Every structure is written in C-alpha cells, then in structure tokens.
Amino acid sequence: MVKIGPVTLPDFPLLLAPMEDVSDPPFRAVCKDKGADLMYTEFISSEGLIRDAIKSKKKLDIFDYERPVGIQIFGGDEESLGLAAKIVEVTQPDLLDINFGCPVKKVALKGAGAGVLRDIDLMVRLTKAVVQSTSLPVTVKTRLGWDDNNKNIEEVAERLQDVGIKALAIHGRTRVQMYKGEADWTLIGKIKNNPRITIPIFGNGDIDSPEKALLYKNRYGVDGIMIGRAAIGYPWIFNEIKHFMKTGTHLPSPTIEDRLAVCRKHLRYSIEWKNPVVGINEMRRHYANYLKGLPNIKEYRNKLVTLKTEEELCEVFDEMARVYQGFTFEKTPISLINYHENCPID
C-alpha cells in the first residue's frame, strides 16, 4: 500500500492528473469507473477563491464516489495560498495539492505554477504557508526545473518534504520544454532512490501504454504513476495498465458499445453537474476523442456537436451502435495532445 498521510492507496496506484478544462467531475467519474485510484480537480486560482469567483468556487465540487480526491490550488502569494487552503478544507477533500508545474505563460510568467521554479526559497515559503493553514495532507505537483540549466528538482524534493508535504508528483520536463521532446524520468528515479526521501514519489509524463508504464515502474522505482493527456478520450488506460502489470497480457480494445456507454455516462454526469444547456455544450469537445478511429463519422460528429437535448443525442448513440455494430478498433498509439496550448485560466 501507498500512504499519503491518512489516505491509503493500493500498491503502485495510478493517479489522474489535474488538467485545466478537462478533469472536471464528469470526466473524473468516467476515469474512476475505469480504474483511476486517486484523482485531482482542475487547478484553482487562490486569488479566485478569495474573491469568490464563480468559476473558481465551482471547481471545488467533489463527490463521494470520487474518493479519494484532491483539490489543487495555485498562486504566488503566501497569504493568498494560506487563505485558499482554509477555503478548500471546508469542502473536505482527501488532500490538497499545490500546482508548481503549470507551464502556461499567463500562469508561469506571473510567478505561479512552474514560474515558482525560478525561486526555490519562495516555493518553500508558499508550501509551508499551505501546510500550516490546513489539517489536510498537502501534496505538490511540479517539474524538473525552469530550464535545462536549472533542473533543481532534487533540492526541491528534499526541502518540500522538510516543510511537511506528504507526496510529490514530478513531470519529467522543464517549464521551458512545455510538452516538447520526451519526458526524462532520470531525476525522478534519482529522487525516489534518495535515502533522505521518505514520502511517495509519483512520476508523470508520456505514459501512453501499459508497456511503458511497466517499464518505467521497474526502471525508476517510483511509487505510482500520474496519467494526464493519455486519459483524454481514453479512460480505459487505467484498467489496461493494471491488467498488463498483473498478467502481462492486454485487455481487448474497447468496443463501439464501450465507447458509446462512456459517452452516455459522461454526458449524463455533465448535465447533472451543471445544467442541460451547459452540460451538453461542454460535452461536445469530448466526442471526437472518444470516437476516434471510426470511419465515415463526419455526419454523426456534426449531429453530436449541434443537437441540443439529451434525448436527441441518445438517439444518435443508438443509431451509431447499430451502424457500427461489430466494428473493430485498431490498436493504435494514444496521441498525447498538447491541451495546454489554449488552456483557459481563471
């Protein structure tokens, strides 16, 4: 078992990464159903929480079926982060995570997210302010450093552990890299093997197949893996990795029935969480990912992104189930999209 404070996870847990404008409650519900062991909310601006911004407050929504679940906050001011931590605690998540990894310019260049990697003393003070403001276990997600000349994650890991964090998730790129090139897990493995480090270390970056998950588990010795972009449109990756690690064999590819069932479930949760109009509109961005690989789908895709009622959409799902019955999806590599390019921020 892996322990994050009082939170107990199974051996080698698979975590769903916090992804802005992606990992909302409906998406998390689907990933939980498909094997995610621990999930995080979209990141929430500490300043937005303090000024009671509607969008920030809405991101605090968590549900019992998601547990264990963490709420992630970001910011560059000690007092604001401390106050935000107190607000978060009222919603009773299982843990609180600090984002020191978001590479988006309008976050990083304002001294938050991965921007804090340029000032490790500030990062330590910010983390300490959060730890001292809440009884929740505090975790951190970050990157290797600001750029190739400043990969200071080894120092970061020790110092953040010293001020009280209970786990650390590390993306194997610098801020300057964004999502270019390959993620380098070498330093992640080095931190895990540092005898001073006693907290769980989770690796993140480019895990897009069961084979790579097992390879990186064995090569770097991490306590678990955090999966982000690979789960967009393909939540089955969690159970596929677990099955492969246990048996050495692959689960069958999800069928058209499996994919449409996820579309229905995601749509229903989206409508319930917000309302029919907003829920249906926000679901539209997910269909192309869930149904990738189907031939001659343009007509159906056009319907899915224009119809306005759940009943009409379910009729399209029913028709697609009949038309594509027996269709076999090819086992193709998961495409890791760079969703951060147009990442909306509070």
Q: Is residue 59's pLDDT more than 50?
A: yes
What positions carry a catalytic annotation? 102
Q: Are 172 and 204 in contact (CB under 8 A)?
A: yes
Using the predicted structure, report yes or no on whether residue 333 has a pLDDT greater than 60: no
Contact of 201 with 211, CB cutoff 8 Å: no
Q: What is the pLDDT of residues 104-122, one digit of tens each?
A: 767 765 667 777 888 999 9
**Is residue 270 over pLDDT 50?**
yes
pLDDT tens per residue across span 6-41: 999 999 999 999 988 888 999 999 999 999 999 999
CB 148 within 8 A of CB 122: no
Beta bridge partners of 170: 142, 203
* Higher pLDDT, residue 195 or 180: 195
Domain boundaries in the chain? 2-248, 256-323
Categorize the per-residue pLDDT at 346 as very low, low, confident or very high, splitting at 50, 70 and 90.
Answer: very low
Does the domain at 2-248 match CATH 3.40.50.150? Answer given as: no
Predicted local confidence at residue 342, as pLDDT: 44
* 333 against 251, higher pLDDT: 251
pLDDT confidence of residue 44: 87
Q: For residues 109 and 90, which has the higher predicted lDDT (pLDDT)? A: 90
Residue 159 has pLDDT above 60, yes or no: yes
Residue 82: which of 58, 47, 34 has the closest Cα? 47
Looking at CATH, the fold of the domain delimited by 256-323 is given as: 1.10.1200
Per the prediction, the chain carries an average pLDDT of: 90
| Long-range CB contact pairs, 122-125, < 8 A, 24+ | 122/76, 123/156, 123/159, 123/160, 124/159, 124/160, 124/163, 125/78
Neighbours of 163 (CB within 10 A): 17
Q: What's the token pair of residue 342?
A: 């147009």
pLDDT tens digits, one per residue of 223-249: 999 999 899 999 999 999 999 999 999
8 Å CB contact between 300 and 322: no
- At 103, the pLDDT band (50, 70, 90 cuts) reads low
How much of the chain, in percent, has pLDDT values that exceed 70? 92
pLDDT band at residue 344, thresholds of 50, 70 and 90?
very low
* CA torsion, ordered 334, 339, 340, 342, to nearest 10 deg: 160
Q: Confirm whether 2-248 and 256-323 share one CATH topology.
A: no
Decide: 72 and 102 in contact? Cβ < 8 Å.
no
The CB-side HSE value for 336 (13 A sphere, CA atoms) comes to: 17
SS3 4: strand
Confidence of residue 332 (pLDDT cuts 50, 70, 90): low
